[in-house]
Amino acid sequence: MKLTIETVLGASATAAFYPLYVAAFEPIRTRAAARHLLTAEEFEAEMADERIDKYVVWDDNGEPVALSTLTTDLAAVPWVSPEYFAARYPDRVARRAVHYLGYTLVHPDHARNGVFNLMIEAIERRCADARGVMAFDVCSYNDARSVGRRIERLGRYDGVTLSAVDVQTYYAATFDAPLPEAEIEAPRPAATVDTSLTAGAAR
């Protein structure tokens, strides 16, 4: 196995990864309210975006088997606010030391041979060496599975502070019947104005 960091992923590797990416994120379509699955065109654009580093693991035959994306240019992540991070980590943003981890996927044939850890440990070490921040988002479905266990491990390292910096909660109110009459507010009467008040009496 070999790990490389690519700024642009070639067409053949991109084509090899997209079906794997779809297989990994297809189940999330019905388990997360936010859209996680990129179209083929969006995926190709990301693989060609030089602002985003691609951590790629290749097998002994030179075939790509695992991928993680990481960037220090927060403008390359369309679903986050660069201003949010600049307000909270101004020094690290100025040093380009806020790293955003996009996603990680591993071919099922290599899910149990340490490939995931190989990529993530390289990314964590890069962030630690920069005295930086590694930011990422995860849906509740993945947070309750192996991804969440890996996140918990981070908080056990000396010199690492792990915080949930924001929570986005999606609600859905389902109406199966009309509301009771008592729950519907009656229109309020028009306000009247007492012209006897002096200007100084108003709050």
Question: CA angle, corner 98, sides to 95 and 100, nearest 5?
Answer: 145
Element (H, E) at 47: helix 40-48
Q: Which residues contact 143 (CB under 8 A, 6 or more apart)?
A: 151
> What pLDDT, in 10s, does the model give residues 142-185?
777 666 666 777 767 778 888 888 888 878 887 788 888 875 55
Task: Determine the 3-state secondary structure of 135 from DSSP.
Answer: strand
DSSP strand pairing (133-135 vs 98-106): parallel
Structure confidence at residue 40 as a pLDDT band (50, 70, 90): very high
Strand order in the sheet with 52-58: 2-6, 52-58, 64-71, 98-106, 133-135
- Rounded CA-CA distance 161/89 in Å is 14
Residues 176-200 have a mean pLDDT of 58
For residue 6, what are its two tokens? Answer: 């690519």
For residue 195, what are its two tokens? Answer: 């012209």
Length of the chain measured in residues? 203
For helices 40-48 and 11-25, give the axis angle rounded to 10 degrees: 130
Cα pseudo-dihedral 171, 26, 99, 85, rounded to 10: -20
- Rounded CA-CA distance 2/20 in Å is 19
Does 138 have pLDDT greater than 50? yes
- Report the percent of the chain where pLDDT is more than 90: 50
Range from 120-129, 133-142, 186-195 that averages highest in pLDDT? 120-129
Does 137 have pLDDT greater than 90? no
Handedness of CA 86, 47, 149, 123 (dihedral sign): negative
Residues 134-145 have a mean pLDDT of 80
Query: pTM of the prediction?
Result: 0.81
> What pLDDT, in 10s, does the model give residues 41-87?
999 999 999 999 999 999 999 989 999 999 999 999 999 999 999 99
> Does CATH place domain 2-154 in 3.40.630.30?
yes
- Average pLDDT of the chain is 85
Element (H, E) at 170: none
> How is the chain split into domains, by residue range?
2-154
